Amino acid sequence: MSSTIELENKFCAHNYNPLPVVLSRGNGVFVWDENGKKYLDMMSAYSAVSHGHANPRLVEVVKNQVAKLTIVSRAYYTDQLGEFLKLACELTRQDMALPMNTGAEAVETAIKAARKWGYEVKGIETDKAEIIACTGNFHGRTITIIAMSDEPQYQYGFGPYPAGFKLVQYGDAEALEKLITPHTAAFLVEPIQGEGGIVVPPKGYLKTCQEICRKHNVLLIADEIQTGLGRTGSLLACDHENVVPDGLILGKALGGGILPVSMFLSKREVMEVFTPGDHGSTFGGNPLASAVGLEALKILIEEKLPERSKEMGNYLIGKLHGLDSPLISGIRGRGLFVGIEIDPALASAREICEALMERGLLSKETHETVVRLAPPLIIRRDEIDWAVDQISEVLQDMDRIRLAS
Ligand SMILES: *Cc1c(COP(=O)(O)O)cnc(C)c1O
Write the CATH number for 237: 3.40.640.10
Instruction: Based on the residue annotation, tell me whether 138 is a catalytic residue of this protein.
Output: yes
pLDDT of residue 1: 66
pLDDT of residue 405: 80
Please check whether residues 359 and 215 belong to one and the same domain.
no
The CATH number covering residue 308 comes to: 3.90.1150.10
pLDDT of residue 367: 84
What is the C-alpha to C-alpha distance for residues 298 and 348, in angstroms, rounded to an integer? 40
Please check whether residues 279 and 246 belong to one and the same domain.
yes
**Which protein residues touch ligand 1 with a CB less than 6 Å away?**
46, 102-104, 107, 138-140, 190, 194-195, 223, 225-226, 251-252
Distance 325 CA to ligand 1 centre (A): 32
Please check whether residues 39 and 77 belong to one and the same domain.
no
Please check whether residues 230 and 294 belong to one and the same domain.
yes
CA distances from 60 to 258, 259, 273, 296 (A): 12, 14, 37, 12
Among 252, 267, 319, 364, the active-site one is 252
Instruction: Based on the residue annotation, tell me whether 203 is a catalytic residue of this protein.
Output: no
What is the C-alpha to C-alpha distance for residues 38 and 32, in angstroms, rounded to an integer? 4
Among 46, 138, 144, 249, name the best residue to mutate to test ligand 1's pocket (greatest count of ligand atoms within 8 A of Cβ).
138
Please check whether residues 313 and 270 belong to one and the same domain.
no
Please check whether residues 214 and 67 belong to one and the same domain.
yes
pTM metric for this prediction:
0.98
Strands 247-250 and 130-134: unpaired
Domain termination residue (choose one: 302, 328, 344) = 302
Q: Check: CB of residue 89 under 8 Å from CB of residue 265.
A: yes
Q: Residue 301's Cα: distance from chain center in Å?
A: 19
Please check whether residues 269 and 167 belong to one and the same domain.
yes
Distance 11 CA to ligand 1 centre (A): 25
Distance 264 CA to ligand 1 centre (A): 13
How many residues does the structure list for the chain? 405
Which atom of ligand 1 sits closest to the CA of residue 227? 13
* Sign of the dihedral through C-alpha 110, 337, 245, 217: negative
What is the C-alpha to C-alpha distance for residues 285 and 36, in angstroms, rounded to an integer? 36
Distance 64 CA to ligand 1 centre (A): 29
Please check whether residues 32 and 162 belong to one and the same domain.
no
Please check whether residues 164 and 256 belong to one and the same domain.
yes
Which residues neighbour 89 within 8 Å (Cβ) at sequence distance 6 or greater?
Answer: 95, 96, 97, 265
Low-confidence spans in the chain with pLDDT less than 50: none
Which atom of ligand 1 sits closest to the CA of residue 262? 7
Mapping DSSP to helix (H, G, I), strand (E, B) and coil, where does residue 164 land?
coil
- Protein residue with least CA distance to atom 12, ligand 1: 139
Domain span at 338: 3-54+304-404
Strand partners, 186: 131, 219
Percent of the chain predicted with pLDDT > 70? 100
The one-letter amino acid code at 288 reads: L
Please check whether residues 63 and 159 belong to one and the same domain.
yes
Domain termination residue (choose one: 302, 321, 338) = 302
* Sign of the dihedral through C-alpha 251, 51, 35, 372: positive
Distance 87 CA to ligand 1 centre (A): 22
Please check whether residues 98 and 82 belong to one and the same domain.
yes
pLDDT of residue 368: 87
The string of DSSP letters for 277-334 reads: TSS--SSTT-HHHHHHHHHHHHHHHHTTHHHHHHHHHHHHHHHHHT---TTEEEEEES
Mapping DSSP to helix (H, G, I), strand (E, B) and coil, where does residue 40 land?
strand
- Protein residue with least CA distance to atom 10, ligand 1: 139
- Protein residue with least CA distance to atom 5, ligand 1: 103
Q: Check: CB of residue 307 under 8 Å from CB of residue 232.
A: no
Strands 219-223 and 184-189: parallel
Please check whether residues 11 and 152 belong to one and the same domain.
no
Among 33, 41, 172, 223, the active-site one is 223
Number of domains in the chain: 2
Domain termination residue (choose one: 251, 276, 302) = 302
